[in-house]
Structure 1
Amino acid sequence: MGVAGCGKSSLGAAVAAAEGLLLIEGDDFHSAASRDKMSRGIALTDEDRAQWLEVLGGQLASHPEGVVLTCSALKRAYRERLRAAAPGLRFVFLEIERAAAQQRVASRGTHFFSASLVDSQFATLESPIGEAGVLRVDALEPLADLRRQVSAWLRATETP
Structure 2
Amino acid sequence: MTYFERFSRCLVELVVDGRRLFLRHQFLRFVLVGIGNSAFSYGAYAALLFIGLEYRVASLLALVLGIAVSFTTQGTVVFRNATRITLVKFVIAWVILYLINISLIALLMRFSLSAYLAGAVATVPVTLISYFVLKFAVFGRGKANQSAESSKRPQHDCKTRHCRTVL
Higher RCO structure, 1 or 2 (CA under 8 Å, sep 6+)? 1
**Which of the pair is proportionally richer in strand?**
1
Q: Which entry has the higher C-alpha Rg, 1 or 2?
A: 2
Q: Which has more helix, going by share of residues? A: 2
